[in-house]
Chain A
């Protein structure tokens, strides 16, 4: 484009048309990933591919934002290098943590965590107590009409 190398007083200027165009591409890519995920949940089970497509497209979108919106395409390469290095450090952190946790994963204790389990047990106990003593929950009061049908329904279900 003719405007691509427009220079202002202190630096390169990104043309408006380019910004709008890139935004349109980004919106399209977003819609694409949403469509693929809906596909996965509702119609076809593409499983792992959904993750790869979603994260791959996200990376493409991020690259576009960095290069064009954030001006890295026209900046000194050292800045891109530094930014990429920080992403690399995050990946390093994640990979070591993953390696560690996978080695211990088979030993994960099954079931809910202790406090969660205690809470669930307590809720069970109070729900049983409430039911046994004949009180019903607020919601069930609304089903006053259906109350006498309930035992019959249950008997039919068994």
Chain B
């Protein structure tokens, strides 16, 4: 009896992995190009941006929150990264020019993303604004700031350093894949093995009980929204580096892809249940699906329909599991 329930739980936990496996199998049968090494690296490289922002989104959703601003924050931090690397900052009155290395640009992008995220968190905790509304506002604000900063024109030709981050290889693995793997490892550790991660789950599970246990709810929320913004900054660097250009309309609707990955990966929108690894699988499912449909020459419009159906399937199955329990 006990073994049975344990197996059941194991089955439920790995069901998105099984779904990914079946999906890969199906596409591999239908297209011989799918399993080629070049294509698989391509898939991983394509999902790396979504993985980064979806990991941050996972933490937010685990706390029963939502962050709609990540797409715009990604665009703004990407643009600032590009702008700083290309033009630096000139303080004319002091006759001072500050140039930025690639690393400097990347750190600045993460800083900008993190600050915007902290601002989200501040609005949400200080004024008790629902996360949906607070981050919806930031979605427009950050997009507007991006337009202002770039004057609506892409910032291009950012040099070989940044290009390497977008398209280079390191020990046989694409650099963006390295970066997203690194992000995943850090946040799996944070969510599962630190007190901070435990608090995120506790707040999502029962905020009142967490508060009464002496957890500083507001501080945790602030930090989580800050991290989600920072990861959007990382995503901004990856997008900019990949195109070797910062587009003013980069990252549009990326927040929806991130939420889709979180949901498909089994994290409950009501909080407390889910995992970063689940989200990675969710992002992989979306990526493989997109890739497979392209390989099979299906119209991009159908790709959107297919993604929607997968999301529905994922939440319905999740709901049925929960009712059973």
Query: Real complex partners, A and B?
Result: no
